[in-house]
């Protein structure tokens, strides 16, 4: 019998809510800096700080909280007090410790997919935070592997697939991010399914022209995935 095909799955905002927690904290941050700047200025300043530091900080709560603290200090021209910053540290702990909120139908769909696929979770971010989420999701037993990478680009996908003995041409990746889950997988000859999420972080957007000449499938919901893959299989 042939080995089951490998299906790559993104995690944050594909299997469970993630951006919604960051958005809630961003809203509290806007309240905190409201004595000094309006919300649009506050949001733009935070995104600029995050963009400047993502290479050093990576993706995850610790870097997000450090970016908030830095931006609050800058926007307040240093006038913010320690008492005002203290809650920001609590927000970080809340994000890290929040229970996993699976998207609708994910558990049933994962169990269906696991019957005829090897499921490889590929997520970027802080390994401690991501493994904690996997363990808290109740999905770990269905997964063939979990890979936490620093960036999702063609090089990291190539490396992950090689280490798992998977040919890119037979690989399908599923996720909510065009620049992280779709484009780099197409670039190495794989296939990709895009399942957009209502919340898209500014650093995960692409220009329309980057999507030209690329073929991938868009689904409304993770629950539609088994039917799509079955249709692909029937087409050979």
Q: Note the residues at the interface with a copy of itself (CB under 8 A).
A: 56-58, 62-63, 65-66, 69-70, 72-73, 76, 78-83, 85-86, 89, 92-93, 96-97, 126-128, 131, 148, 150
Q: Shortest Cβ distance from residue 130 to a copy of itself (Å)?
A: 10
Q: Shortest Cβ distance from residue 194 to a copy of itself (Å)?
A: 26
List Cβ neighbours of 74 (8 Å cut-off, separation of 6 or more). Answer: 45, 49
Q: Shortest Cβ distance from residue 172 to a copy of itself (Å)?
A: 24
- Cα–chain-centroid distance for residue 14? 7
Task: Please check whether residue 42 is in contact with residue 155, taking contact to mean a CB–CB distance below 8 angstroms.
Answer: no
Residue with Cβ nearer a copy of itself (96 or 228): 96
Task: Please check whether residue 6 is in contact with residue 116, taking contact to mean a CB–CB distance below 8 angstroms.
Answer: no
Q: Is 35 exposed, middle or buried (0-12, 13-18, 19+ CB in 10 A)?
A: exposed
Q: Shortest Cβ distance from residue 58 to a copy of itself (Å)?
A: 4
**Which pairs from 200-203 meet CB under 8 Å and 24+ separation?**
200/19, 200/176, 201/19, 201/22, 202/47, 202/51, 203/47, 203/50, 203/51, 203/54
Cα gap 57→138, rounded to integer Å? 28
Q: Shortest Cβ distance from residue 175 to a copy of itself (Å)?
A: 20
Cα gap 93→18, rounded to integer Å? 14
Residue with Cβ nearer a copy of itself (89 or 206): 89
């Amino acid at each position: 019998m042939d080995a089951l095909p490998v299906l790559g799955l993104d995690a944050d905002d594909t299997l469970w809510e993630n951006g919604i927690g960051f958005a809630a904290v961003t809203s509290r941050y806007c309240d905190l800096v409201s004595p000094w700047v309006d919300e649009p200025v506050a949001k733009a300043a935070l995104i600029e700080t995050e963009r400047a530091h993502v290479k050093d900080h990576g993706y995850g709560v610790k870097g997000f909280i450090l970016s908030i603290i830095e931006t609050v200090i800058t926007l307040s021209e240093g006038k913010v007090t320690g008492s005002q910053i203290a809650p920001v540290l609590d927000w970080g702990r809340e994000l890290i410790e929040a229970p996993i909120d699976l998207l609708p139908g994910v558990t049933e769909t994962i169990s269906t997919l696991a019957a005829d696929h090897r499921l490889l979770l590929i997520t970027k971010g802080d390994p401690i935070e991501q493994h904690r989420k996997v363990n808290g999701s109740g999905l770990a037993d269905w997964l063939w592997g979990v890979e936490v990478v620093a960036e999702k680009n063609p090089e990291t996908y190539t490396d992950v697939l090689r280490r798992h003995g998977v040919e890119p041409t037979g690989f399908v990746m599923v996720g909510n991010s065009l620049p992280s889950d779709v484009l780099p997988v197409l670039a190495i000859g794989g296939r990709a399914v895009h399942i957009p999420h209502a919340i898209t972080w500014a650093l995960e957007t692409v220009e329309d022209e980057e999507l030209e000449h690329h073929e991938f499938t868009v689904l409304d919901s993770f629950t539609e995935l088994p039917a799509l893959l079955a249709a692909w299989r029937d087409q050979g």
